[in-house]
Amino acid sequence: MTRFRRGSRACAAVLTTLLSCGACTASAPSAPPSEESQGAASAPRRDISGVWAGPPLPTLQEPAPFTPLGQERYDANKATWGPKAVALGESNDPLITCDPLGFPRSALYETRGFEFIHTPAKTVQLLQYQRVWREIWTDGRPLPPDVGGESATSLDPRWFGYSVGRWEDDTTFVVDTTGTNERSWVDYFGRPHSAEARFEERYRRVDAGMLEVAVTITDPVTYTRPYVAMKQSFVRAEKQELEEQLCVPSEAIEYFNTVAAPASDVPSK
């Protein structure tokens, strides 16, 4: 089973709902008092650093406008959430065996805790789920061209892609990402993306305690037009510390073989 650490307790319900975490003991970093009780302070200039707390499953936005190929790939993905949800034992979600979330799924799933750290050349995002990080370069470099191409200079696709960031104004940080591994899913509904996809994240510091996030996907192979996959507000955590929230492959496989597979009458992994 997937394990979250919270006072040495495990979250046994996680794989039952494929890491939905609705009943888990692990939680987001504690949020600060409400604005009504303390008053909202103004946003600092060009600064989204710190630990931010949100929901395990952010609200997905507009329906995905699939191309024929995108619809075919979506139909082949068997998610445990959404309009065509299947039982865990019948799912082919990569998370069943704790494959990396990858990007953009890391922005659209298990968003209960993340942190930004600014440096002169890059902004680093630390993700509570699976304890991974992203490098968002802010030194003026462009995104790499032809990721996954046949040229000797072409870079390989990566689970979390290649990201660059810039300040649009004093409160809005914009991140562009490309070169992601198409084995990852976009979200917990099983929406796919191609290796040619580009993603835009917009982080708007509303005030000292609130961060608005929007994720837009542009992928002509999979979608007929750019679409907004997520809009979500996050609050600055009172305790500026991330928890340990891990997906343990050996435990996930054991759970699948002893609980999920027998319940669905499918072969063990």
Q: pLDDT tens digits for 106-149?
A: 999 999 999 999 999 999 999 999 999 999 999 999 999 999 99
Sequence-distant (6+) residues with CB within 8 A of 252 are 1, 2, 15, 96, 97, 98
pLDDT value at residue 3: 35
Q: What would the pLDDT profile of 5-26 be if each residue is shown by its tens digit?
A: 333 333 333 444 454 443 333 5
> Which structural domains are found in the chain, ordered by start?
45-84+99-242 (2.40.128)
| Main-chain dihedrals φ then ψ at residue 172, nearest 5 degrees | -120, 115
Q: What would the pLDDT profile of 186-238 be if each residue is shown by its tens digit?
A: 999 999 999 999 999 999 999 999 999 999 999 999 999 999 999 999 999 98
Q: Are 54 and 111 in contact (CB under 8 A)?
A: yes
* Mean of pLDDT over the chain: 85
Judged against a pLDDT cut of 70, whether residue 66 lies above it is answered with yes
Identify residue 149 by its one-letter amino acid code: G
pLDDT value at residue 220: 97
The residue behind tokens 């692990």 is 26
Q: What would the pLDDT profile of 48-57 be if each residue is shown by its tens digit?
A: 999 999 998 8
Q: Which two tokens stand for residue 223?
A: 């979608």
